[in-house]
Structure 1
Amino acid sequence: MTTLALFAGFYAVIAGMNGDFIAGAIAIFVAMVFDGLDGRIARMTNSSSAFGAEYDSLADMVSFGLAPALLIYQWMLSDFGKLGWLIAFVFTAGAALRLARFNTQVGVADKRYFQGLPSPAAAAVLAGLVWMVEVNQIETGFEASFALFVTLATGLLMVSNVRYSSFKELNLKDKVPFVTLLLIVLVVVVVTLKPSVILFAAAFLYALSGVVMTVFRLRQTQEQRKKAKASSVSTETEPTDNSNS
């Protein structure tokens, strides 16, 4: 499964070099599918190993670090010259640093959250953008500038301290309720209607969710500090009873 994910990422690079941007974008999503399967299959077959974990990280670097950056550079960022490939490099470097940090935090970090935007999600944003614009033939004149901004933003989010939900608290090992199965079918149906638009929107909203939650938590922390400070001040200024009994 890991080798198939690596092959899909490599194919995305070749497709981008040949100008077949839709195939390259789809290949990155295919790599995400295989990347999600390899770990689960390893745990189901009790074949997890340190070698497999390192191999998976190297494959992720190609499929979700190098391939999306080269694809979007060939697609739009090449119009910006040196700035374009520098921004693409920021994305690639962000993915490498994100994967290195993830490997050093295994077993230590809270499994409910990811620190920084996961590299597959960042790759999905870029691949989804390319796929959506190409399939729907969107021509607004702002595609290149938006691609430049999104590439830089996702690259920086990968190395940020913004927390993202890992959805690992969802327990799919027990019996799955019928309503859950129905929702899964509905999601698949909705995605098949406009896969490029839906997948890009889902990846973009996930990338945005971490920023929104971080801002919300910061505001909550500031309000709690203000309340604590106000209560401490009121306690200090409270008049003492000096009357004699």
Structure 2
Amino acid sequence: MIDGRDHDALDPVPGAHAGARRRRFRNVPLRIVLPNLITLLALCLGLTAIRYATEGSFEKAVFAIVAAAVFDGVDGRLARALKGTTRFGAELDSLADFVDFGVAPALTLYFWNMHEIKSFGWFAAMVFAIACALRLARFNVGLDDPDKPAWASNFFTGMPAPAGAIVALLPLYLHLSVLGWSFERWAVGIEIVYLLGVAGLMASAIPHYSGKSIGRVPREQVIPVLFAIAVFVLLLVTFPTELLAALVVVFLGLIPFSIRSHRAHLRRDAERLKPAAVPTAAAGGDA
């Protein structure tokens, strides 16, 4: 009461503030919290990778970035499965992705050997991080596009940020593998050109397979799929950097096929929208 008057009487909409307070402090379902928690764990892995890189533990830095990529793939699928997708979660995911797949790989490569060509190495690291930021911003804008055809979900526009991070670390995989390739000073220039090329793929409009079309496994294929997954896990544990290098080569080899498939979809859409030909009157016939 103020001077004998009710508080709600002073409000043009009685009870509006009380309703807003109730909405502000209502409980958040666990299905919304869990995906964001996984995103934060991925962010911690990206920051830890930067720490390992500064300490010279580049193998640990690589594994931290790869683990962050796995977590990044899990959080989105978990959010969709639990129907816990939110705008807050999407923004948090983008911020974490920039650190995990833009800053962490660039700094890891720079501290590894690109610092030997200081200006060019730092330039390449910055370009890669900028390309990652632009890629993520374009992805966020694309989420609000209602006019995309259904088949467009099978493709990413430009190389995805997690894939860009995994692909960019290929020289480091080769160095840590059984091949033990040592990148001399002259080879660092090739590595810088390679990193700039990956950055260009991320910022480009080149379509890449999204993998979202992979759905349920046919019943007769369950055993082969389980066997393939088991072999993959064993190889990842036994020969991690060698397997990562092979996956990068396969992924890059799929780009021409994704471009061709994307163009085929565009051609089919163009033919579907093409107006039907109007039949002409027979020669000598009445108009």
What TM-score range do you get, normalising by the shorter chain?
A: 0.7 to 0.9
Q: What do residues 101-139 of structure 1 show as CA deviations (whole Å, max 9, x unaligned)?
A: 111112545110011111111101233432431354322
Per-residue CA distance 1:158-215 (angstroms, 9 max, x = gap): 0111111011111038867222222222222333332101112212431342246537
TM-score by length of 1: 0.81
Map of 1:148 onto structure 2: 192
Answer yes or no: is 1:105 the counterpart of 2:105.
Answer: no
1:64-213 superposed matches below 5 A: 64-106=101-143, 108=145, 109=148, 110-136=152-178, 137-139=180-182, 141=184, 143-172=187-216, 177-211=222-256, 213=258
- Using a 3 Å threshold, how does the CA distance of structure 1 residues 127 and 55 change in structure 2: closer, same or farther? same
1:164 is paired with a residue whose SS is strand
CA distance in 2, matches of 1:28, 1:3: 14
Per the normalisation by structure 2, the TM-score is 0.70
Partner of 1:237: none
The structure having more radius of gyration, on CA atoms, is 2
Deviation at 1:143, TM superposition (A): 4.3
Aligned pair count reads 221
Distance (whole Å) between structure 1 residues aligned to residue 257 and residue 224 of structure 2: 29
RMSD: 2.6
Q: Is there any run of 5+ residues in structure 2 with no aligned partner, and where?
A: 1-37, 267-287
Where 1:177 maps in the other structure, the secondary structure is helix
SS at the partner of 2:68?
Answer: helix
Structure number with greater CO (CA < 8 Å, separation at least 6) is: 1
CA distance in 1, matches of 2:143, 2:262: 24
Supply the distance in 2 between the matched residues of 1:67 and 1:10 (Cα, whole angstroms). 7
Letter in 1 for 2:247: A
Identity of aligned residues (%): 32
Change (3 A) 1:212 1:43: closer
Q: 1:217 and 1:38 mapped to 2: Cα distance?
A: 27
- Give 5+ residue unaligned stretches, structure 1: 222-245
